[in-house]
Amino acid sequence: MAGASPFSVLILCGSDSDAATMTAAARTLADFGIEWDLRVSSAHRAPDRTIELARTAADRGYGAIIAGAGLAAHLPGVVASVTILPVIGVPLSAGPMRGTDALHAIVQMPRGIPVATVGIDNAANAALLAVRIFALADADVRARLEAYVEALPAGVEAADARVQEQLAADPPGSPTPTTTTGG
Ligand code: C2R
């Protein structure tokens, strides 16, 4: 893409079962002209491979890593321990605890190795955080980010207009027709 950012983002997920959710990060980055690669690698199941991917990421031109995992989600923390790139963790709602297990695992990093953590399944916000980081040094990304933020209120206006229209067409709590008695 013309005007593409000099940095790209490495998106990692712990399993192919995470890939559909994590694709939202890829879509969002593409909207901002930021290139990305999405790779499956598990710190639990393939630690050497995962560490190699993370350790070499900066030299391969990545400016940030987004790591999504569910359950006992060690992937983002392990990745952050072998790179100085900013790492953004996405807790995924795999399993019976619906992502609260992964949220706690990702957000509760010990001092020294931070992982920026977004909401459960919110891969788009992870991408937007990477966009904000890149915008500090990239005027094109910054301009796209400013346009995106400026457009948000219009989306709220449109949502409000839709709700007002629905309420006018079908008002809740309007009195049900009463039958007049007597006479
Ligand atoms: P499977 O569907 O492959 O059994 O994976 C994945 O992110 C996925 O959400 C189930 C879940 O296990 C997670 N997983 C991790 C790690 N590796 C896989 N949390 C890791 O290294 O942290």
- Model confidence over 27-58: pLDDT tens digits? 999 999 999 999 999 999 999 999 999 999 99
Domain that holds residue 87: 8-139
- In testing the pocket of ligand 1, which one of 12, 15, 22, 65 has its CB within 8 Å of the most ligand atoms? 15
Number of domains the chain contains: 1
The answer as to whether 112 is a domain residue is yes
The SS3 call for residue 172 is coil
The answer as to whether 177 is a domain residue is no
The answer as to whether 161 is a domain residue is no
Q: Is 69 in the pocket of ligand 1 (CB under 6 A)?
A: yes
Per-residue pLDDT band at 5 (split at 50, 70, 90): confident
Question: Which position has the higher pLDDT, 182 or 63?
Answer: 63
* pLDDT for 175: 74
What's the whole-number mean pLDDT along residues 87-111? 98
* pLDDT for 4: 61
Task: Answer yes or no: are the C-beta atoms of 102 and 73 closer than 8 Å.
Answer: yes
Q: What is the pLDDT of residues 142-167, one digit of tens each?
A: 999 999 999 999 999 999 999 999 99
* pLDDT for 2: 45
The answer as to whether 59 is a domain residue is yes
114: CA distance to ligand 1 center in Å?
21
The answer as to whether 69 is a domain residue is yes
Residue 68: how many CA atoms within 13 Å on its side-chain side?
33
Residue 149 CB neighbour total at 10 angstroms: 11
CATH code of the domain containing 70? 3.40.50.1970
The answer as to whether 109 is a domain residue is yes
The answer as to whether 165 is a domain residue is no
Question: Percentage of residues in the chain with pLDDT exceeding 90?
Answer: 90
Q: Whose Cα sits closest to atom 2 in ligand 1? A: 17
14: CA distance to ligand 1 center in Å?
5
Q: Is 47 in the pocket of ligand 1 (CB under 6 A)?
A: no
Strands 36-40 and 62-70: unpaired
The answer as to whether 152 is a domain residue is no
Per-residue pLDDT band at 61 (split at 50, 70, 90): very high
